[in-house]
Amino acid sequence: MIYLDYQATTPLAPEAREAMLPWLGGPETQGFANPHSPHRPGRAAAAAIEVAREQVARLLPPGGRLIFTGSATEAINLAILGAGPRRIAVPPIEHAAVLDTAAASGAVVDLLPVGGDGVVPAGCAIAAGTSLVAVMQVNNEIGTIQPVEALAQAAHAAGALFLCDAVQGAGKLAAPGNADLIAISAHKLYGPKGIGALWVRDGVSLAPQIHGGGQEQGLRSGTLSPALCAGFGAAAALAVERMAADAAHVAGLWARARAILSGWQLNGSADLRWHGNLNVRRDGLDVARLMSDLRDIAFSAGSACASGSGRPSHVLRAIGLDDAGAKASIRLGFGRYTATRDLEDACARMEATAVAQGV
Ligand code: PLP
């Protein structure tokens, strides 16, 4: 199996796995203790969580606090519902976690513009009375990098808070230093599934959305998993260390894949992008057939979230593709553990299969 779906999730880094093991907690160890218990094993688990919090915080700007959550989706819900916006501005290419939560918040929702290259213009107007602007750092479907610092400035000038969904950017790019709220997810940066975090700038107050024991500074009740926190922390530390090497590796992979698939059209900007994403289309391509012909290659039809629903991707539609163009698109995602040879083989087989379809 050649795995090319790194925007859906990434493999667990061996270093992260190693860091989790002592905290998985069989009866012969003390790693199962509740980190919120005051006894010695509980305090040891709590200390491991604080080490992890420090490691994850290094991906984020200074001057804020980090709240662990069960996923980035939960972090985004806490940010949006917790801020209680009256009017919220979002581009239509956001992840469903942002779009659906904005819709559910009861706020007036304004859509920001997005260009045909998949980039939100840095100078776009923000309506008077907007209290929250949410823009992602890197798009999960087409990989485009958004001008989040400039958009955060515009949000502040309009008197609004700025939320950045940095799920696809964290550990790969520097976080936007002037955001007020940043959501991230461990499993997109070689950490475990089941844990995310919300970074909250000092002075920003949120209403908790999950009530109970008052953990995570009263913002997110529920017993934390020391194993998941430790894995997240180790993955974050590794990401900091390997940021430049990882970026260079995916840039090389992207160039090879693009050369082999040179007859395919690129969706989204070629330059303003995370190069671990290649979203391409070929007129008339039957993506379902391509996927069934290439069952030993794990890749996605446009978007992992929209695929299976039969609906064309909302992101591809928002950047101007018609239904047929969106349905003829595929998303390849690659990263730290992708071997150049595997990617080359997969792309060559995709090219040959498309040619065999007569497109
Ligand atoms: N935001 C973006 C851009 C994503 O790609 C994803 C996951 O696909 C999410 C949010 C949700 O993250 P999680 O799986 O941690 O809930």
Residue 296: per-residue pLDDT:
98
Ligand 1 pocket check: which of 77, 136, 140 to mutate, most ligand atoms within 8 Å of Cβ? 140
Is 168 close to ligand 1, i.e. is its CB under 6 Å away?
A: yes
CATH of domain 14-238: 3.40.640.10
Please give the CATH number for the structural domain made up of 2-7+243-356.
3.90.1150.10
Active site residues: 305
Distance CA 276, CA 143 (A): 8
**Per-block average pLDDT, block size 10, for the chain (359 residues)?**
98 98 91 96 98 98 98 98 98 98 98 98 96 98 98 98 98 98 99 99 98 98 98 99 98 98 98 98 96 98 62 94 95 98 98 97
165 lines ligand 1 (CB under 6 A): yes
Distance 192 CA to ligand 1 centre (A): 13
pLDDT of amino acid 132: 98
Longest dimension (CA), the chain: 68
8 Å CB contact between 305 and 96: yes
Task: Provide the pLDDT for residue 112.
Answer: 98
Q: Is residue 144 lining ligand 1, measured as CB closer than 6 Å?
A: no
pLDDT in the model for residue 311 = 80
In angstroms, the CA 222 to CA 121 distance is 40
C-beta of residue 264 within 8 angstroms of C-beta of residue 331: no
The answer to whether the CB of 155 falls within 8 A of the CB of 171 is: no
> Of 164, 168, 198, which is best to mutate to test ligand 1, by the most ligand atoms within 8 angstroms of its C-beta?
168
Cβ 352 vs Cβ 359: under 8 Å = no
Say what the pLDDT of residue 308 is.
61
Domain ranges of the chain: 2-7+243-356, 14-238
**Measured distance CA(17)–CA(192) in Å, rounded:** 8
Nearest CA to ligand 1 atom 12: 72
Residue 28 CA, ligand 1 centroid: distance in Å = 36
3-state secondary structure of 152: helix
| Cβ–ligand 1 contact at 140 (below 6 Å) | yes
Residue linked to tokens 């990263």: 335
Q: What is the bridge-based pairing of β-strands 265-266 and 196-201?
A: unpaired
Q: Does residue 71's CB lie within 6 angstroms of at least one atom of ligand 1?
A: yes
Q: What is the pTM of this model?
A: 0.98
Number of the ligand 1 atom closest to the C-alpha atom of 73: 16
Cα(27) to centroid(ligand 1), Å: 34
